[in-house]
Structure 1
Amino acid sequence: MSLSPPPKRRRANRSPTPELTLNDGDDYQPYIPVQQRRQERLNLLINRRGPEAQQERARREIQESEEQRDEEREEERRREKARRERTLLIEALDVHSRKAAEDAKKTEQERVEEADAEILAAIASRKKLASDRELARGIVYTEPLKASWRPPHYIREKSEEQHQKLREKYHIIVEGEDIPPPIASFADMKIPEPLLKNLKSKRIIQPTPIQIQGMPVAFSGRDMIGIAFTGSGKTLAFCLPLIMLALEEETKLSFSRGEGPRELASQTYENVLSWADAMTKGGYPQINTLLCMGGISMSDQSHVMNKGLHIIVATPGRLIDMLEKKRFSLRSCKYLCMDEADRMIDLGFEEDVRTIMSFFSRQRQTLLFSATMPKKIQDFAQQSLIKPVLVNVGRAGAANLDVLQVVEYVKQEAKMVYLLECLQKTAPPVIIFSENKNEVDDIHEYLLLKGVEAVAIHGSKTQEERQYAIKSFKSGAKDVMVASGVASKGLDFNEIQHVIIFSMPKEIEDYVHQIGRTGRSGKTGIATTFVNMNTPEQTLLDLKYLLLEAGQKVPPFLQSVEDPRASQGGRLQGCPVCGGLGHGISNCPKLEDASRRQMASHRGDAIGDFSTRVEGESEDEMRHLVYRDQCRIEKTYIL
């Protein structure tokens, strides 16, 4: 059976798709919105009614527009009234609420860091340390003074890597431009033979770390910030350069009456006299040195001023008084040194230093030295000096590693009895520190009754009493000195083996200076500190960290003191104002004391003598208050 093929399908023929246009058909009407059709019908009705209806419509439109304007004016009056009723307090509360909402998103550590930054920025806004004349005329020195001294050629030929190795050997940290090389020998510093013999007679053979780097910087005429622990030889580091500069100027042109002083420098008048006499005996010109401080008759030193001055040891108040009386001038002075510079600035002597600088007529070389110079003062000094060189041996504010620190818990009523036991630890001489002058007198009287050869020194003592106490203690006639903060800074006592801190100072800087009266010039010493429940916890925390840093033994009761900042997380940082490791800037005791002093000075509480000081006020505090109103009061800081 054969299959036939399927039939073929035919394509259907379809008619073409019609093309429609909008014009097709006469009945097409475009779409009109409903709103428009209603409006057209309304207009048609109005036109049919006549002109009366049109006038009514116009009046209605005018009335509606006036009502709308009235509503807008009323709304504007309500907004203006609300603005007037909104007080600054409400705005402050709104700002505070917004800030609180933002702070809620931050961590506790971030909030603390921001608060510390605000406080630091507020206290950092101070003009640089320059005279009013320089600030008013816009006088700016850009280059350091040129000095004739140069290091020996074999020192200059050494590479910077060799210099850095020497610095690392003695733990010297330097900052600045074109830093002079360190020199580890007095002879290589080109010091004259008479001074070398004088140093050897005092068993000073090799320079200390601060002298290795600091003296070449000073010899080179550079501004300098020198930081080193107590007893490290800072005084020699700036005294020898000033003596060399004075001799150089004297050789060029001798001074006549009224000229000078050549330098404002020195830690002790006796040291300067000793080194100057050594140079005179060696055949060099005589160096005239003047002691200018409260409590000393200047008429007794008129013979020195008549010869012309090279070096002056001065306190700010008496120096300003002598300059204003034109007893001598600073026209030829080119060398200014401030020892314990941070304390001088902190205690409000900043304006007095500017007043002294206004008597200069030329550029000067400025050196600032201290054992405790917090970051805040370092930054301020950097802005005030000309391309300064920072020489730092160890952390600023660190304790002397040659001092064995012993901290003991002693009840307040048992201190006096236990004091006698502590005096048996070492042979005399011994220094006992207390923060209160009445307590100093009580301790002194108690020791005398017990047969101990003791003297006392504090701010209420006359200059003659203080000089007698220092002289008899240094000579060995007295075994014990009971002192307030007056003796903790600027005074150098040799052979002190033991320091007893009867009452722990609030500021850890003062503690560092007090224990630094022993362990000097490479020798070892002991510092015994009494603490109890009366000692603030923050002070104990500062002390704990200081002991840990120095590798000293921390007693269990001190180990149990916890740092509240540890719970906030983050890295613990020290205070940039006082250098204390146990607190931040927000609760710094130095800032609290400075604020209290400022408030007291505004109230006029500073008028009076040291004898009117209320119980519990510190020596530094009262010294500042009284000085601001009575320039005649003698101060213990040295320019």
Structure 2
Amino acid sequence: MQFTELKLIPPILKALRDENYTTPTDIQAQAIPYILSRKDVLGSAQTGTGKTAAFAIPIIQHLTQEQYETKGKRKIKALIVTPTRELALQIGESFTTYGKYTKVKNTVIFGGVTQNAQVRALKAGVDVLVATPGRLLDLMSQGYISLNHIKYFVLDEADRMLDMGFIHDIKKLLEKLPSKRQSLFFSATMPPKILKLSQQILVKPEKVVVNPVSSTAETIQQYLYTTNKSDKKALLLHILRTNEMDQVLLFSRTKHGADRIVRNLRNKKIDCAAIHGDKSQNQRQKALKQFKGGQIKLLVATDIAARGIDIDKLRYVINYDIPNEAETYVHRIGRCGRAGEEGIAISLCEPEENAYVRDIEKLIDRKIDRVEDNPFPQTDKPMNNEEKKEFEKEKQRKRQEYFANRNKKRADKKPGFRRRKRNS
């Protein structure tokens, strides 16, 4: 199938040709006809399958055809709600790209920055609003946004929306939306909570399921290093230095862990940066721009911050920490090997993560290739319950010893320390 077979208007087809898009992805080929027919859609597709275009293209077409019937200041007709600012910006760019030969105007709003520029864009009038939940509700409460004219509502990355605690915000938004609208609901996974939420939003939806989460692309080679926690930093350095890697997206489980990895690699003269929720919007955008432009070779990200990262021909993904949810592994490595390109996914596993690897291999129904020439092989076994208790007891003892020594040093330096401590 070609885009020319999807009954798209000439301005959109021209924009697609500019991007060298001729053949729609599976979710685009299935979802676009339903959306053009004004049906609600429940879409499930893993990251990188092209679902943004699947809803952006038909919405642009609807709005373009309706513009001939309306006059006056633009009202917000389409609302796309997404969990992260990176993803919001990416969606906004997609609307701009696919709609550049139309008169459809979009803007993006998100938290973490001052609202002045966003308010000015809203006052000028827009057709499509892409927003994160918090800033959207904030500007609604201030009277800058009205949802009275919404005809198209999209909830994107719904599973992450729930993971990030936005469920109450979404319910507030649903109360403000017109009942007569076309609703589109997209999520990479479909656990019971997500299905229940979709039932509150959609009316007799058409279901589009593409590339179930249990699948990994055949073009991605998967490798596993089993090592010890104490050797992980050295192993990562060994991998980076013995392989010619131009661009590497590395996943850390926590924000603090991401910062530690960056500090260690920079000390070893490796250009890298981290993106996560504690970074400012400017810092995140600067890191992404440097990574895409080749100024830095390695980008360290947490799972939530990585949503919305779209890098053409990214070849390498490294799991510094094995995710404790098997589906997350599939999403992570899906960042590379897109659109038929080859990708390489490398995972570093310490003893406590062996159970996670077994869950992943069960989900994807294949065994990940073990790397035999590992200079730091896994030698210790996972701790049993008794060993874990001893470990926690020893950790608590060391913590108490540390604070006792610290207080003693302070008291030695400041004679009045203990007296002031008691009186405070």
TM range (shorter): 0.7 to 0.9
Alpha-carbon separation, structure 1, partners of 2:32 and 2:97? 20
* 1:491 and 2:333 matched: no
Q: 8 Å contact 1:488–1:510 — kept in the other structure?
A: no
* 1:501 and 2:319 matched: yes
- Residues 502-538 of structure 1 show CA distances to partners (whole Å, capped at 9, x for unaligned) of 011212232222112112223221110111212162x
Provide structure 2 residue ranges, at least 5 long, that are not aligned to the other structure.
382-424
Alpha-carbon separation, structure 1, partners of 2:49 and 2:33? 16
Q: 8 Å contact 1:334–1:362 — kept in the other structure?
A: no
Cα gap change, 1:215/1:477 in structure 2, threshold over 3 Å: closer, same or farther?
Answer: same
Q: What is the SS of the residue equivalent to 2:114?
A: coil
Alpha-carbon separation, structure 2, partners of 1:248 and 1:446? 55
Aligned pairs (5 A) from 1:154-165: none
After the TM superposition, which parts of structure 1 deviate over 6 Å for at least 4 consecutive aligned residues?
554-558
- Residues 398-452 of structure 1 show CA distances to partners (whole Å, capped at 9, x for unaligned) of 3334322212202112211221232243532111111122221121112212222
Structure of greater Rg:
1
**Residue 203 of structure 2: aligned partner:** 386
* 1:276 and 2:92 matched: no
Cα gap change, 1:296/1:288 in structure 2, threshold over 3 Å: closer, same or farther?
Answer: farther
Q: Structure 1: which amino acid aligns with 2:187?
A: S
Alpha-carbon separation, structure 2, partners of 1:421 and 1:555? 13
**Residue 295 of structure 1: aligned partner:** 112
Match of 2:342 among 509, 524, 534: 524
Match of 2:276 among 452, 455, 458: 458
Q: 8 Å contact 2:92–2:108 — kept in the other structure?
A: no
Alpha-carbon separation, structure 2, partners of 1:416 and 1:200? 45
Alpha-carbon separation, structure 2, partners of 1:370 and 1:203? 27
Alpha-carbon separation, structure 1, partners of 2:178 and 2:200? 21
- Residues 22-73 of structure 1 show CA distances to partners (whole Å, capped at 9, x for unaligned) of xxxxxxxxxxxxxxxxxxxxxxxxxxxxxxxxxxxxxxxxxxxxxxxxxxxx
Q: What is the SS of the residue equivalent to 1:358?
A: helix
**Residue 385 of structure 2: aligned partner:** none
Q: What is the SS of the residue equivalent to 2:353?
A: coil
Q: Structure 2: which amino acid aligns with 1:411?
A: N
**Residue 413 of structure 2: aligned partner:** none
Q: Structure 2: which amino acid aligns with 1:453?
A: D
Q: How far apart are 1:270 and its partner, in Å?
A: 4.6
* 1:186 and 2:6 matched: no
Q: How far apart are 1:195 and its partner, in Å?
A: 2.7
Which range moves more in the overlay, 335-344 or 325-334?
A: 335-344
Alpha-carbon separation, structure 1, partners of 2:243 and 2:53? 31
Among all aligned residue pairs of Structure 1 and Structure 2, give the percentage whose two residues are the same amino acid.
Answer: 33
Q: 8 Å contact 1:405–1:527 — kept in the other structure?
A: yes
- Residues 191-223 of structure 1 show CA distances to partners (whole Å, capped at 9, x for unaligned) of 233332332333322011111111111211111
**Residue 263 of structure 1: aligned partner:** 79
- Residues 476-499 of structure 1 show CA distances to partners (whole Å, capped at 9, x for unaligned) of 222110112233323212221100
Q: What is the SS of the residue equivalent to 1:313?
A: strand
Aligned pairs (5 A) from 1:371-382: 371-374=188-191, 377-378=194-195, 380-382=197-199
Alpha-carbon separation, structure 1, partners of 2:323 and 2:200? 31
Cα gap change, 1:547/1:410 in structure 2, threshold over 3 Å: closer, same or farther?
Answer: farther
Alpha-carbon separation, structure 1, partners of 2:185 and 2:218? 23
Q: 8 Å contact 2:251–2:303 — kept in the other structure?
A: yes
Q: How far apart are 1:268 and its partner, in Å?
A: 4.3
Q: Structure 2: which amino acid aligns with 1:472?
A: Q
> TM-score, with normalisation over the residues of structure 2?
0.80
Alpha-carbon separation, structure 2, partners of 1:362 and 1:226? 21
Q: 8 Å contact 1:382–1:388 — kept in the other structure?
A: no
Alpha-carbon separation, structure 2, partners of 1:289 and 1:477? 30
Which range moves more in the overlay, 506-515 or 417-426?
A: 417-426
Match of 2:262 among 436, 440, 444: 444
Q: 8 Å contact 2:292–2:311 — kept in the other structure?
A: yes
- Residues 361-400 of structure 1 show CA distances to partners (whole Å, capped at 9, x for unaligned) of 3412221212222355335524642111111123344333
Cα gap change, 1:249/1:303 in structure 2, threshold over 3 Å: closer, same or farther?
Answer: farther
Q: 8 Å contact 1:403–1:525 — kept in the other structure?
A: yes
Cα gap change, 1:289/1:540 in structure 2, threshold over 3 Å: closer, same or farther?
Answer: same
Q: Structure 2: which amino acid aligns with 1:220?
A: S
Q: How far apart are 1:307 and its partner, in Å?
A: 2.6
* 1:476 and 2:294 matched: yes
Alpha-carbon separation, structure 2, partners of 1:278 and 1:385? 26
Match of 1:399 among 216, 229, 235: 216
Aligned pairs (5 A) from 1:63-102: none
Q: What is the SS of the residue equivalent to 1:312?
A: strand
Alpha-carbon separation, structure 1, partners of 2:187 and 2:320? 24
* 1:332 and 2:149 matched: yes
Alpha-carbon separation, structure 2, partners of 1:278 and 1:229? 22
- Residues 148-169 of structure 1 show CA distances to partners (whole Å, capped at 9, x for unaligned) of xxxxxxxxxxxxxxxxxxxxxx
Cα gap change, 1:396/1:454 in structure 2, threshold over 3 Å: closer, same or farther?
Answer: closer
Q: 8 Å contact 2:91–2:130 — kept in the other structure?
A: no
Q: 8 Å contact 1:548–1:554 — kept in the other structure?
A: no
Match of 1:312 among 129, 132, 140: 129
**Residue 252 of structure 2: aligned partner:** 434
Q: Structure 1: which amino acid aligns with 2:108?
A: L
Q: Structure 1: which amino acid aligns with 2:292?
A: K
- Residues 325-372 of structure 1 show CA distances to partners (whole Å, capped at 9, x for unaligned) of 110211110111122112223443222112112222341222121222
Alpha-carbon separation, structure 2, partners of 1:511 and 1:261? 36
Which range moves more in the overlay, 334-343 or 261-270?
A: 261-270
**Residue 408 of structure 1: aligned partner:** 225
* 1:203 and 2:23 matched: no
Alpha-carbon separation, structure 1, partners of 2:76 and 2:172? 17
How many residues in Structure 1 have an aligned counterpart in Structure 2? 370
Match of 2:138 among 287, 303, 321: 321
Q: What is the SS of the residue equivalent to 1:231?
A: coil
Alpha-carbon separation, structure 2, partners of 1:189 and 1:246? 17
Cα gap change, 1:234/1:270 in structure 2, threshold over 3 Å: closer, same or farther?
Answer: closer
Q: 8 Å contact 2:27–2:49 — kept in the other structure?
A: yes
Cα gap change, 1:303/1:398 in structure 2, threshold over 3 Å: closer, same or farther?
Answer: same
Alpha-carbon separation, structure 1, partners of 2:345 and 2:303? 16
Q: 8 Å contact 2:276–2:302 — kept in the other structure?
A: yes
Alpha-carbon separation, structure 1, partners of 2:189 and 2:97? 32
Provide structure 1 residue ranges, at least 5 long, that are not aligned to the other structure.
1-183, 562-639
Alpha-carbon separation, structure 2, partners of 1:494 and 1:487? 18
Q: 8 Å contact 2:224–2:346 — kept in the other structure?
A: yes
